[in-house]
């Protein structure tokens, strides 16, 4: 980065400091990861210079021959990876992908149903502070208090009553397998589209270590930077339903439109202009990496590390929502440890361990305080850590959480964290 250093030393220094933070801290935010150098190179390439509004072969600008090739590769690889019939690789994020889907399939005021944010859902699944709760009539379902699993009875009752046009299945803080099939039964009964938001589990699905949303979901969205380990961005996928015309008649031709056409035009020009071609190239690289046998080994280790987190926390008397995990994350209920999520996040941060405070289902505390933290294994696994290191990490976390005011303990944990991180560099 010698050019940046010479031209803008302030930004160079900031990036360098962030690199050092990522290197020296233990990253346990379940939605974060470290991309490969190949993805970083594509994302930092000259493709950022190109305007390419439209889609491959149908652009509003000249000079798109090479970006067309990049986008076509990204589309083809996404389709192979997820066994999908359709892929749109232009959404700038998972939230944008969801917005594109809603714009294609809904009218303002239509009813949508998603998992409540405080029960592990996502802002874009109907939260009142997001477009999804402002533009649409959002009804949320919940998990059960006794076992932390999706309450399908609650979902069915509400779906029958509110007749949603879309049911969203997927979550940001749900440690268990998403049962797409059960969601589809309910969607079919009430005549709703089923939208699988697989942002968190997409790497697991790509590695065939979590059930596929296809053929159950009509449409699927995911971000590309979480367990999938690509650049920051989003995509939309469809399976067989891609082949069915949808009941919107094109005014000029009188032809019934395909859902793929509606999704494409919802993303561009509906919600976005020029696609980020450098990021689309980065997505293509990440999909190629995810198609390799190495990626399966990586996800296997992510899952076994998450299991190890779960066992070690349980052994130390921590309560886990749903009692454990099937995925890459655990959700800790800290109420019996006499610290809030906020206090734990702060103390762990002081010790060089990055997590996020997280609402737990039926949380008596506010979203700014919370009673829980979410702990994920993807990033630490990318650095090469395995179960031996996870056992050490849980021990370090426990020392901090149970002594969250003790500066000496926090400082001694911090040096142990730094030592551990030194043995597992993020980039050579």
Q: What does the binding site for ligand DSN look like in residue numbers (CB under 6 A)?
A: 31, 94, 122, 172, 199
Residue nearest to ligand DSN (CB): 31
133 phi/psi in degrees, rounded to 5: -95, -15
| Cα gap 122→193, rounded to integer Å | 18
Strands 356-358 and 193-197: unpaired
Helix axes 407-422, 387-401, angle to 10 degrees: 160
Q: Which is nearer to ligand DSN, 122 or 158 (CB)?
A: 122
Min dist. Cβ of residue 230 to ligand DSN (A): 14
Min dist. Cβ of residue 124 to ligand DSN (A): 8
Min dist. Cβ of residue 94 to ligand DSN (A): 5
Q: Which is nearer to ligand DSN, 122 or 337 (CB)?
A: 122
Min dist. Cβ of residue 233 to ligand DSN (A): 12
Min dist. Cβ of residue 49 to ligand DSN (A): 28
Q: Which is nearer to ligand DSN, 34 or 55 (CB)?
A: 34
| Cα gap 293→301, rounded to integer Å | 13
| Cα gap 354→45, rounded to integer Å | 30
| Cα gap 178→170, rounded to integer Å | 7
Q: Which is nearer to ligand DSN, 355 or 401 (CB)?
A: 355
| Cα gap 75→267, rounded to integer Å | 15
Min dist. Cβ of residue 7 to ligand DSN (A): 32
**Residues ≥6 apart with Cβ < 8 Å to 175:** 148, 320, 321, 322, 324, 325, 326, 327, 329, 330, 331
Q: Which is nearer to ligand DSN, 87 or 117 (CB)?
A: 117
Contact 136, 125 (CB under 8 A): no
Q: Which is nearer to ligand DSN, 159 or 332 (CB)?
A: 332
Min dist. Cβ of residue 31 to ligand DSN (A): 3
Q: Which is nearer to ligand DSN, 282 or 378 (CB)?
A: 378
């Amino acid at each position: 980065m010698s050019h940046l250093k010479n031209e803008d030393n302030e930004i160079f220094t900031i990036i360098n400091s962030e690199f050092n933070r990522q290197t020296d801290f233990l990253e346990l935010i379940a939605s974060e990861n470290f991309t490969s150098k190949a993805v970083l190179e594509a994302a930092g390439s000259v493709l950022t210079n190109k305007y390419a509004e439209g889609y491959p072969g149908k652009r509003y600008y000249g000079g798109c021959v090479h970006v067309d090739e990049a986008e076509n590769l990204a589309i083809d690889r996404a389709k192979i990876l997820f066994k999908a019939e359709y892929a749109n690789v232009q959404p700038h994020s998972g939230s944008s992908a969801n917005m594109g889907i809603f714009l294609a399939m809904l009218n303002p005021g239509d009813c949508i149903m998603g998992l409540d944010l405080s029960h592990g859902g996502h802002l874009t699944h109907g939260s009142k502070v997001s477009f999804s709760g402002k533009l649409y009539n959002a009804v949320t379902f919940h998990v059960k208090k006794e076992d932390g699993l999706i309450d399908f009875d609650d979902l069915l009752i509400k779906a029958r009553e509110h007749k949603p046009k879309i049911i969203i299945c997927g979550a940001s803080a749900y440690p268990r397998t998403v049962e797409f099939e059960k969601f589809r039964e309910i969607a079919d009964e009430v005549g709703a589209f089923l939208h699988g938001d697989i942002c968190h589990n997409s790497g697991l699905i790509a590695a065939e270590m979590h059930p596929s949303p296809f053929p159950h979901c009509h449409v699927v969205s995911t971000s590309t930077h979480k367990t999938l380990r690509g650049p920051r961005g989003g995509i939309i996928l469809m399976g067989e339903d891609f082949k069915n015309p949808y009941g919107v008649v094109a005014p000029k031709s009188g032809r019934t439109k395909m859902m793929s056409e509606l999704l494409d035009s919802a993303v561009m020009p509906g919600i976005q202009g020029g696609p980020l071609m450098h990021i689309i190239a980065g997505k293509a690289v990440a999909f190629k990496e995810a198609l390799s046998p190495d990626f399966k080994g990586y996800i296997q280790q992510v899952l076994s590390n998450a299991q190890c987190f779960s066992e070690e926390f349980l052994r130390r008397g921590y309560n886990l929502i749903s009692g454990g995990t099937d995925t890459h994350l655990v959700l800790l209920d800290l109420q019996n440890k006499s610290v809030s999520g906020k206090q734990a996040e702060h103390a762990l941060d002081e010790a060089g361990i990055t997590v996020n405070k997280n609402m737990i289902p039926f949380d008596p505390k506010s979203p700014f305080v919370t009673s829980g933290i979410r702990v994920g294994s993807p990033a630490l696994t990318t650095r090469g850590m395995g179960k031996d290191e996870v056992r050490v990490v849980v021990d370090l976390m426990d020392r901090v959480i149970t002594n969250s005011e003790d500066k000496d303990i926090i400082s001694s944990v911090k040096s142990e964290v730094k030592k551990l991180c030194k043995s597992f560099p993020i980039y050579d």
